[in-house]
Structure 1
Amino acid sequence: MTRKSLFSPIIFAFLVLLLLIIIPNSWIEKLIPESRISQAATELNPVMFQGKYIQSKMLEDNRYLPMYGSSELARLDAFHPSNYFKENPDGFVPFLVGRGGSISIIHFLNFAEHTEQLKGKKLVFILSPQWFQPRGADESHFVPNYSSLQGYDLALNNKIDSDTKKKAIKRLLHFVPVRDDLLLTTIYQGELSNDPWVKRKAVLARPFAYAYRGILQKKDLYYSLIGGTSRNREITRAVKQKDWAQLKHEATLEGSRQATNNQFLVINSQYDKIKKKVPSLKGYKRGASYGRSVEYYDFQLVLDLLKESGAKPLFISVPVNGKWYDYTGFPKQGRTSYYTRIRHQIEAEGFPIADFSKHEYDPYFMKDTIHIGWKGWVYVDKAIKDFYNDDHITQKSIQL
């Protein structure tokens, strides 16, 4: 093989990469089909969560009601908001943002990218008790959900409150992907330090940070152009034009058909995965509590940012499976302390909360040990409908 033929593929690849980088963003945006936004509404694609373009377009469109949460968003059934509001249109389409491990600091980074678009925007935020472990978010949840683009956007964002930004940076510097990014940490440390040399290094690093963020933004556009992987969504008309009493009854029947092999009313397919371990799990959570956690600090960052941006959120407080938690020895007080504290924290900022904590033992309210299910989604659907259609609910909690 000649030297020329050896290096030709490398040269060609470099030229293609250079071309992809220098193409103006506006050209790429024109190629992204409008249908990509509606496709992403139920796709639960991590590329969209960690990007900016798709969510920006969604927030600009009044047809969408963004719903932020974690793994419960993927627990699909006939009563899930994506299906319920498809069959019972009410002027909006739920747009799902989140997956397992999408805890408060991840959502904070996401919101920080869109503060100007959040002004006056209604949104739904589903809280999970299991986020509130004593030490808060760990690397196993943070790493897969962290977005470098969002990290750099925060670093270069001079529009959000300085104190909120500094608090978030201090928290982010606890995580390996942030600490290992020398360019990003240089800028972050410049925000926190009073040392003139540290600040000078941050100033020198900013042009490089802008350039790198530009590459990340272009990467996001190309991902948006290509699109994600379509997910099979359970679509059924069984919930169409039925009142809430009928829906609760049908949700109970559906749960009773799918949770038949255990005393905890966990869906059979999930219980089968843990059945062999169940005897060893009895009482293993004695002394546990969700009442004290670093996560409350992270969640306050979310509240502060949403309040500053002028957003209109509804928070959904999801219970745990009471029968299962009792079996594992997780104290009742360790759960109720969470429900009380999170409600007070939200109401202190003037935001409404749909508090479902009294449904721990409600049959088929939960689909498994921690995720909301059949009947639970019916209650969530009603809370969302009431919230969307009543502007006064932004000033009080929904009574359930």
Structure 2
Amino acid sequence: MKKRHALWYAIGPVLIAAVVTVLLLVVPHRTPTYKQGELEKASLSMSNNVLKGQAMKTQALNNGYVPFFGSSELARLDMMHPSVLAAKYHRDYRPFLLGRAGTQSLTHYFAMQDMTAQLKNRKAVVILSPQWFTKVGQVKAAFAMYYSPLATAQWLLKARNTATDRYAAKRLLQMHTVHKSSVMHQAVWRIAHGRRLTAVQRGYLHVRLRLLQSEDRLFAKLGIKDKRARLKKSERQLPAQYSVAKLNQLAGDAGRKHTTSNRFQIDNHLYQQKLSHGRVKRLKNQQRHFDYRRSPEYGDFELLLNQFKQSNTNVLFVLPPVNDKWAKYTGLSLKMLRSTNHKIKQQLTAQGFTNVLDLSEKGNVNYFMQDTIHLGWRGWLAVDQAVKPFLTKQQAAPHYRLKNYYYSKKWQQKLIN
């Protein structure tokens, strides 16, 4: 009897895995239809499995949701947040929030690869944080957290010997996310070196993709944080009729009420959580040497732009400021920030991306920021003044002219005054 138990413990998990694999392969390749409430829940959640998956975000975009790409600034559903304003005033669009703390251009590029059809001839909004453009660029641990084998498999199957695909493959290898002994790693290596995938690699990727898509369809709804109650609470604080003047007054009142504990106009709760008990004193002049002007992020950012060109996506880029009071306290160079902003704008406008909302000089406006680097009450209202007409009115067709130069180390290290 003991031998039987030992035998089962040895081969049981293998048999179970084999059965699960077969079931995933034979499950009908049909995407489930999600209810409107489920799509709304997913659109607000910023959940990892939604970002990494395909089924929910593609169905949402097919149903009129608009992708908002960013990072942690999207998480706080205060009264002026794009999702709150769109819901309260019954706009004919709804933001689908994509990103979390640590998501940057490289993460978003690969996450887009399983929704390229939904980006084609559509609109999108991208909120660019200057903090992405550090000396290191994309942090490997953060990339690993949001890495999607599903999207990577789809990208590999359509990758070609182009400057964009070679660059993307090399960056993916540098992240050390794909196991070196795997078929997928070997496939990425071939693309990085300008080679075609072998027949065996393509066959493997087709099977792997089917498995991953089946898993996504089965488990997409699990673990999605429900923020709809928070959305409704914020909606109730808004006036019945949309009025910029009234909303600006309301934003100022809210900002004043929620920043009474400190001189930086940082939200009381966030200040208490992150900067109280003497922690703020240790940060005085500690950001003097921060520099966002030279970074591999500029090359990764070009990947995003290339995907938008390939999909003919009309994009509004938002360039937020840094809290001016905080920057002066920590020694963060405003001159450096202006130079960073000019470099980002040059990369955009020189290639035909002309829809740019530049808020970088608004860091000294009262209650524009909620904390040190994230948009707040008046900041989100300013964003809405550009987002609303961009998404509700017909826009001129984009004419993008991309240049491989922006992948180069020369550009990544170039200083722009």
Asked whether the two chains share a fold, i.e. TM above 0.5, the reply is yes
Equivalent-residue separation in structure 2 for 1:144 and 1:379 (angstroms): 32
Look up the match of 1:295. 297
Look up the match of 2:220. 224
The offset of 1:33, in angstroms, is 4.5
Structure 2: gaps spanning 5 or more residues: 400-417
Look up the match of 1:318. 320
The offset of 1:136, in angstroms, is 0.8
2:372 pairs with 1:369: yes
Equivalent-residue separation in structure 2 for 1:349 and 1:111 (angstroms): 20
2:286 pairs with 1:284: yes
2:306 to 279, 304, 307: 304
Equivalent-residue separation in structure 2 for 1:224 and 1:41 (angstroms): 13
The count of aligned residue pairs is 389
The offset of 1:392, in angstroms, is 3.3
Equivalent-residue separation in structure 2 for 1:161 and 1:354 (angstroms): 34
Look up the match of 2:176. 176
8 Å contact kept, 2:161–2:191:
no
The offset of 1:16, in angstroms, is 5.4
* SS of residue in 1 equivalent to 2:178: helix
8 Å contact kept, 1:173–1:179:
no
Look up the match of 2:156. 155
* SS of residue in 2 equivalent to 1:358: coil
Could you report, residue by residue, the CA deviation over 1:245-292 in whole angstroms, capped at 9, with x for unpaired residues?
211111011011111111110111111222222112111111322122
CA distance 1:346–1:25, change in 2 (3 Å)? farther
CA distance 1:31–1:95, change in 2 (3 Å)? closer
Look up the match of 2:41. 39
Q: TM-score, normalised by structure 1?
A: 0.89
The residue type paired with residue 264 of structure 2 is: F
Equivalent-residue separation in structure 1 for 2:334 and 2:225 (angstroms): 41
8 Å contact kept, 1:126–1:316:
yes
8 Å contact kept, 2:367–2:378:
yes
Look up the match of 2:408. none
Q: TM-score, normalised by structure 2?
A: 0.86
- The CA RMSD measured in Å over matched residues stands at 2.5
Deviates more, 1:367-376 or 1:287-296: 287-296
Equivalent-residue separation in structure 1 for 2:389 and 2:33 (angstroms): 38
Equivalent-residue separation in structure 2 for 1:363 and 1:204 (angstroms): 60
* SS of residue in 1 equivalent to 2:332: coil
Look up the match of 1:120. 121
Matches of residues 1-400 of structure 1 in structure 2 within 5 Å?
A: 1=1, 7=8, 10=12, 13-14=16-17, 17-18=20-21, 20-26=23-29, 29-30=31-32, 32-33=34-35, 35-61=37-63, 63-158=64-159, 162-178=162-178, 180=180, 182-193=182-193, 202-224=198-220, 226=222, 228-231=224-227, 232-235=229-232, 236-239=235-238, 240-272=240-272, 273-275=274-276, 276-351=278-353, 352-392=355-395
Equivalent-residue separation in structure 1 for 2:121 and 2:310 (angstroms): 11
Look up the match of 2:412. none
Structure 1: gaps spanning 5 or more residues: none
Equivalent-residue separation in structure 1 for 2:300 and 2:284 (angstroms): 31
CA distance 1:278–1:222, change in 2 (3 Å)? same
Look up the match of 2:410. none
Equivalent-residue separation in structure 1 for 2:181 and 2:262 (angstroms): 47
8 Å contact kept, 1:164–1:305:
no
* SS of residue in 1 equivalent to 2:117: coil
Identity rate of aligned residues, in percent?
A: 31
8 Å contact kept, 2:102–2:139:
no
8 Å contact kept, 1:66–1:123:
yes
CA distance 1:57–1:298, change in 2 (3 Å)? same
* SS of residue in 2 equivalent to 1:330: coil
The residue type paired with residue 297 of structure 1 is: G
The residue type paired with residue 158 of structure 2 is: N
* SS of residue in 2 equivalent to 1:125: strand
